[in-house]
Each structure stands twice: as structure tokens, then as C-alpha cells.
Structure 1
Amino acid sequence: MGSQILEPQTMADILRGQTIHVPDLLGIFRGWPVMANAHYDDIASVVEGAFDRLCKSPTMREKYRRANYARFVSLYYPHPNWDRIPTLALYITWLFCWDDAIDQQGSKLSSNLLHAQSNRAHTLRVLEQVLNIAPFANSLVEYDEVDAELETIGEQLQKFYTFEQRRVYMAHMRTYIENCDKEQSYRLEGTLPDLESYKEMRHGTAAVWTLCALIEYGLGENMPEHVRYMAEVQTLWSETSRAIWITNDILSLKKEIPQSSSTTESIINAIPILVSECGVSPQQAVETLLRELVVSVATFEKAAAILLEAVGQERREWMQTYCDACRCMVTGSIQFTYESTRYGLAGCLNEDGSLSMVL
């Protein structure tokens, strides 16, 4: 994996104060649905209860409540009936808490790589156990308050998923966690990966593949086996992930720039990498990413058309819903980012749906 030495303070100074203009991102995904689950109030109760158990800091709990992660769940999984929603809501809540425990500046794991690596290794052991795919099933692992939520999630997935489906989910969880380790290492070293290495890493840290692996659970019906292993299914997941991490990198850059003018940590984001590697302005970096989004949409739609043909008339409606479930993750991610206090975009949105962000 390539990396380049970059002075973090210099990059922060280059970005800080720049104005980024972003067109209406939902316009790039024209025709893709924006939907919300009908069970929002019930989702909110599940999410609130999970945050009460997972987060001991009253300040952080209040921050999470203001960010409205129940809205995130409802936008990401608009199709599932209520019986499937609590598990999905628990997983997403756990994901935010687990990620923030390492990613939030000032946390005890954020600046201690060895401690964070130990935490990640423990989480992987817990996941293998609760999904019942551990190599040594009798070697019980103790749960901390964050990982304990995974037991409930694992019980549900054991009930409704085959061993192979659980194995796939675990593989993507491992990819997510291992890439979080790479990202933290770059951040603490004050270095950046090269662009291609970053893209590969970002597919992991976005955790979108793990969310896609739960779509069948949410819909309550499995994909036809002759379709499951078609390359186009992986293309759907890959392009869903690509669209989400690109739009997230653009929209979250404002909150990622450190307030301190003496930072030693890198801003791990595609825009500073493009600025450094290609010698472009931040605005030009955004435009490069927008062009990649257009390609991503076309690639997704081509794969979706092939899958709709492959399932036959009997399962065509279900396959259309499956493809829409992926599309809703993309549009839901954008919509949530616009609305949530987590990203601080209030005041940046223009009447035509575009954004003007002062970094």
C-alpha cells in the first residue's frame, strides 16, 4: 500500500476557509427513490434505548439524540416490516457508537493505536461467537457494554440466515474493522494513502457492504440461489458503497477539518488526497469525485437490469425491491447528511438543492 508524507497542518491550512460548491447530489441519482420507514416512532424508541445502554456520557447521548439516528435507520431501511427493524436499528446504533469510540478526537481509543487494535480484535472474536461461526465455539469471549448488543443481533441472524449468509456478513465486518485500523494508522502517523489505496480502504471503512449484507434479512426473503453468486450482485454492493463514500467524503469534509491550527493528524478524505496527489484545487477535487459518481450510477443500473432479467418474471418484483433497497441507502445517506446536526450543514443548502460550504 502506497503512502505519501504530508504535513497535516499545511493541508488543513489549504482547505480551511475555502468555499466548495456542490450541485444537488440527489439530481445525480435522479429516479432513485428517497423513502422512509413507516415505523419511525418505534425505531426512535429502539435507538434511544440502545444509546442509553451503549453510551455512558450524558453529553454524548444528547449529541446522538440531536443527530437523529432513528431517521438514519428509517432512510437506510425503508422497506422492512416492524419485526425486522429492531435488529437493523440495533446494528446501526452499535456501528455509530463503536466507530465514534475510536474516531472521535479526545476519546481514549482515538489516540492510542495499540489500545484500539486490542479493542478491534476483541470485537472480531465477539462477532465470530455471536454469529456461531467461531473456529473454537467453546472458547467463550466476555462482552463489554458495547459488544453486548452484538449478541442480540447475532441471535436474530442465526435464526433467519444460513451459515453462508452469516459467513458473508462476517467477512464484510472483518473488512470494515481491519480497514478502520489502516485509517487510524494513517491519521495518527500524519500521512495519507495514495488515491487507489484510499479507495480500497474507504470501501471498507464506509461499512456499506455490511449494511447491504443485511438487506435480505430486512426484506424477509432470500435471493434466488442462481442469482446470489452472480457478479452483478457484488456490483450492486460495490457501487452502493462507492456512491455513499464519495458523497460522504464531500459532505463530511467540513466537519473533518480540525479546529486547531497545530494539528499533527491527517484528514483521511478523498479531497485532500486528490489535492495533494494531483495538484488540483479542493473544488476541482470535488468535480473529479462527481464525475466518478456519474459512472457509478451507470454501472449500478447496468447490473440491476441484468439481475432483473436473470430472476425471471416470478421474482422480478422482489428483485426490483432489492435494487431499490440499495438505491435508498445512497439517497438516504445524502438526505440524512443534509438534515443531521452531525455534519453541520445547516445554512449551506441553497434553494436549488446545491450547497455552498465554507470549510
Structure 2
Amino acid sequence: MPKAKGHISQLQGDALTVATQLHGQILHALNFVSTLAAWPTGANKHIKEIEILVDEYLERTVVNEKKLEALKQADFAKLISLWYPDAQWPELKVATAYTVLWIFVWDDEVDTGGLADESLAQEYYQNSIAYARYILGLDEHFHTTNGDANVVIPPHTNMTLFVDFGSVLREKTDIQQRQRFFDNLKDFKEQVGVEHSYRISGSMPSLSDYMVIRMGSVGCTPQIALTDFMLRIRLPESVMGCDAMTALWGQTTRICIVLNDLYSAQKEMAQGSLLNIVPIIFHDIKDTGQKCLSMISQELDRILRDAMEKFELAARELEYMAPRRSQLNEDILKFVKWCRYYVMACLHWTLESHRYGMIKCTNADGTLSIPF
């Protein structure tokens, strides 16, 4: 169980109030493995090679020995293997660079890397965005916030990995694919910045406002934008831009928000972060008793099941966009199936990884008892 007094003493405002009220309580969460049991899972045969590459990338970008060891113990290779069970090695190398950099190292730098000063955080975001745009071939020049141009030096040590990742995308994808990826990556970074501002101020958004922010900051959509590349397919823009595809992305993201936030709530609160769906719902309900924690569990179940229902509707609409057994129909089905793999990878890895400590919270019937 994480220590509580230390992180609570560093909070202020609504965040301090909620953390104090939640401290010592236990959230009894439903068995979402059972809820999602019909969705497929898999594991890539290149798991050992991914493990070696993950450690190499971490050693290149993380200088703090304690943090490096913790990240190595998180088993990111297993997550990548579960995300992409059918991907081939060239694409897996790119996915590994992306995962290590954006999903963990870059984001952790904001959450726990000492960017408490708002101006430093904003500089970090803006320079990262400018560098990504340049490496992806969407801008001829790299403009930093201090006005330098054409000095192509990564704005932060962790950004060196983006060359491994972005240069391959520039070679293997068209400009529409890269622009779509970049737009979603930019939104991810900006929403991480919004969350950071809330953390510094100690204020907490409403659930509805939080979901808007979290749809970007959870980091799902940039990865969904890589799906064509990872699967070696290319869906036409008429499919990529249709309402059903937009809904599929949105509902995939909503499901992952519920799963990621629930299973990481204990870890994040131990680090002093209250920007998580669990304390957000708690704050929204305005009831500090055990009844409130039951209501949190019920609300998470409602959001998850609603997202699954809308996901299935979008999947059916996409399937009907092309004749059965046509190449386009097969490619659409592959895309939809990957979204299911993505959700299930997030589910199983987050539950099992030592990074979140959910193994100790799991009951014999698959439900969880999560102490705060």
C-alpha cells in the first residue's frame, strides 16, 4: 500500500480535500476482465527482441538510475507484444521507440520529472511539438521557443528517440497519415499540459470537463493513428474521416481511460496526482462516505459498458462500408480487431504490471479492492 501522508502534505485546494477524504478508504471495483472476455488477445513472437530493445531505449534516455530500474521492471515489452500480436519486426521497432518515448518517458517527465514551474513545462511541450513536426517532415525548419531555427538538436534528452521513430514514418507513410498522427500527438501533449496546470493549482475539473481533457492526455489517439502503418494497410481517407471511424477511435479511448485510470489510481495518488477519473468522480459526487466509493464503481461500469456498446455500433457501420471479402472490408476488419487488441493489452498489462500494484488488490473472483 502506498504511503499517504507525504503526498497529501504537498497538495493544495480541492486536490488536498479529496486526497484527505479518500485516504484510508477502499474502492471495490468490478471484474472488467469478465466484462471484456469476448474480446481477443494475443502476444507477438518477437517478445524477447522487444525486451532487449526496450532496455536499450530506456538506457539511452533515462539518466536517473532509480527511475531507470523502475521503468525496466515495468515490462513494457509485454505491453507492446500484447498491443501488436500480428506485427512484424520492422514495425515493432518503431512501435517500441514510440511507446518508450511518448507513453512513458515523455509523460513521466511532466508528471514526476520536476517540471513544477509552469513556464518550464510549457517550453518542454512547445519544443517537443516543434521537433516532432520537423522530424516528421511537416516543417522545413525546427523553431525552438528561444527563437533558434535550423539547429536540429533534440530539445530534451528523451527526444533523441523520436529520430528512430519519426524518420521511419517519414519514409514509410504518406503526408496525410503523418499529419493525422501529428495532430493527435499535438493534442496529447497539449492536454498533458492542461492536466499539469490543474496539478499545480490544486483545482479539479468536473467529470465532463475531465473526460474532454483525458481523451487527449491518455495518449490513445496518436497510437490509433499508427494502425495503418503497423498493420501494413492503407485505408482510404473516405473511411478514415467518416463518422463511424471517429466513433471507433473515441470509444476505444473512453474504454482505455476507464481501465487505465482505475488501475493506476492508487499509484498516481501515491505520487500526489489527483487528475484521475476515480478522485474526479469522487469530487463530482460530493459524498465522502463508503456509499460514494460504491457509486464510483457503478459509474465506471456504466461508462465502460456504454463505450463498448457504441464501439460495436461503429464497428458494424465500418464493416458495412465495403463488400464482404473485398480487400477494403478485410482491412477494415483488421483495423477494428486491432482496436480490440489494444484495449485488451491495456487491460491485462495494467492489471499485471508491478508498475501499478494491482496484483495485490485482485480478489479470487476477479474483483479488486484498492486501498488509498
TM-score (norm 2): 0.89
Separation (CA, whole Å) in 2 of partners of 1:6 and 1:272: 14
Alignment match, 1:310: 321
* Among 144, 159, 180, the residue aligned to 2:171: 159
Q: Distance in 2 between matches of 1:124 and 1:246?
A: 27
Whether 2:312 is the aligned partner of 1:301: answer yes
Per-residue deviation, 1:185: 0.5
- CA positional deviation for 1:6: 4.2
Q: Alpha-carbon deviations, 1:141-192, whole Å to 9, x = none?
A: 3213211111121111111211111001110011001111110000010101
**Aligned partners of 2:117 and 2:356: how far apart in 1?**
25
Report matched runs for 1:322-341 at 5 Å.
Answer: 322-341=335-354
> How far apart are residue 284 of structure 1 and its match?
0.8
Matched residue, 1:285: 296
**Residues 12 and 257 of structure 1 are in contact (CA less than 8 Å); yes or no, is this contact kept in structure 2?**
yes
**1:338-353 maps to which residues of 2 (within 5 A)?**
338-353=351-366
Match of 1:131 in 2: 136
Indicate which of 238, 241, 247 corresponds to 1:235. 247
Bigger mean CA deviation after superposition, 9-18 or 321-330: 9-18
CA contact (8 A) 1:33 1:328 kept: yes
Q: What is the RMSD computed on CA atoms of the aligned residues?
A: 1.7
Amino acid aligned to 2:240: R
1:21 matched to 2:33? The reply is: no
How far apart are residue 249 of structure 1 and its match?
1.4
1:347 to 1:124, Cα distance in 2 relative to 1, 3 A: same
1:117 equivalent in alignment to 2:122: yes
**AA in 2 matched with 1:355:** L
Structure 1 residues without counterparts, runs of 5 or longer:
260-264
Residue of structure 1 aligned with 2:199, choices 170, 180, 187:
187
In structure 1, how many angstroms separate the alpha carbons of the residues matched to 2:279 and 2:29? Answer: 16
For 1:132 and 1:116, the matched residues in 2 are separated by 25
Contact 1:28–1:293, Cα closer than 8 Å, also in 2: no
Tell me the equivalent position of 2:258: 246
Query: For residues 273 and 334 of structure 2, what CA distance do their matches in structure 1 show?
Result: 40
Aligned positions, number: 347
Gaps of 5+ in 2: 1-11, 143-148
Q: Which amino acid aligns with 2:355?
A: R
Cα distance, 1:266 vs. partner?
A: 5.6
Match of 2:62 among 50, 55, 58: 55
Shift of 1:46: 1.1
Residue 102 in 1 paired to residue 115 in 2?
no
The 5 A counterparts of 1:266-277 are 267-277=274-284
Partner secondary structure for residue 270 of structure 2: coil
Q: Deviations over 1:38-83 (max 9, x none)?
A: 2100111111110010111221111011111111111122221112
Identity %: 27
Aligned partner of residue 320 in structure 2, secondary structure: helix
